[in-house]
Structure 1
Amino acid sequence: MIGILVVTHGNFGTELLKSAELIIGKQENVKTLGLNHGDNVEELCDRVCESIKELDSGDGVLVFTDLFGGSPSNVVARNMEHLNFYSLTGVNLPMLIEALDSRDNIELEELVDTVCTSGIEGIKNIRSELFANSNA
């Protein structure tokens, strides 16, 4: 099973996982880490490293972060120098649900592509979607 790690500012990742589990059920081999005001970024970097090693059961690990260039994504990127895993930024609920739901059925590289597509396709302009063919 592909391991999933969500690293975000504050409790965003934890709450995102709770929302995903509300929809698809309790998940195994998934972890969240948050960076809060006053936290030590170096400690987060070490926790990311430990978590990736813990979550890798042989099928690999996909790490999500919230914001490219933010401290969570920067510490994840630093861990790429010595660990082999994939990481995506801009995590949203469609991405996380897709990753959790598909990770047993496909290889990690394919999962990355599938999750990216789900994230993009999950963004909709509701007015355009609902009223595209009307005068509203």
Structure 2
Amino acid sequence: MYNLMIVTHGPLASALKETLKMFTGDVEDVYAVGLTESGVEEFKEKVSKAVEDCYEEGKELLVLVDLFGGTPFNISMLEIKSKYKNVEIIAGVNLPLVIEASLSRSSTLSETIESLKESAKGAVMSPEKATSSEDDE
């Protein structure tokens, strides 16, 4: 079992957490932090506070960030990954990823990460590709 933290630009993290609640009804051990116009230093403090609240010694933590190389990613690497054990970070957060990460928390974090990476490959599709010839029969 692992805790889940969503770290993004703007209110996206909070919106993903609230939307997750619509699908699962449970957002316990899910934490959300967004970078606002108040600046990087305040954001860094929010991230540090959130990780203090959600990190449990001996328990794993999955951090989902929006953009690889963006400020939320960089701060997560500096303030979480480099300071705590059993932490993994995945960039490219979206709603299907959040739902799957939340529903997979009974698995190990390493199993979940492999599953998330595989699922993400098929997450973007155009409507033409979403139907198959079998649907026409």
Runs of 4+ in 1 over 4 A off after TM superposition: 131-134
Shift of 1:122: 1.8
Q: Match for residue 47 of structure 1?
A: 46
- CA displacement, residues 26-74 of structure 1 (integer Å, 9 cap, x when unaligned): 221111001112x231332233233223212332100011111111111
CA contact (8 A) 2:66 2:91 kept: yes
Is 2:93 the counterpart of 1:94?
no
* Cα distance in 2 for residues equivalent to 1:120 and 1:47: 31
Letter in 2 for 1:44: F
* Cα distance in 1 for residues equivalent to 2:39 and 2:102: 29
* Identity in percent: 29
Say which SS state the counterpart of residue 33 (structure 2) adopts. Answer: strand
Q: Match for residue 121 of structure 1?
A: 122
The size of the alignment, in residue pairs, is 132
Q: Match for residue 32 of structure 1?
A: 32
* Cα distance in 2 for residues equivalent to 1:9 and 1:89: 12
Q: Give the structure-1-normalised TM-score.
A: 0.86
Change over 3 Å in CA distance of 1:109–1:97 after alignment to 2? same
**Structure 2 unaligned spans of 5+:** none
Shift of 1:133: 7.8
Q: Give the structure-2-normalised TM-score.
A: 0.85
CA contact (8 A) 1:13 1:33 kept: yes
Q: What RMSD over aligned residues (CA atoms) do the two structures have, in Å?
A: 1.9
**Structure 1 unaligned spans of 5+:** none
* Cα distance in 1 for residues equivalent to 2:105 and 2:5: 13
Q: Match for residue 18 of structure 1?
A: 18
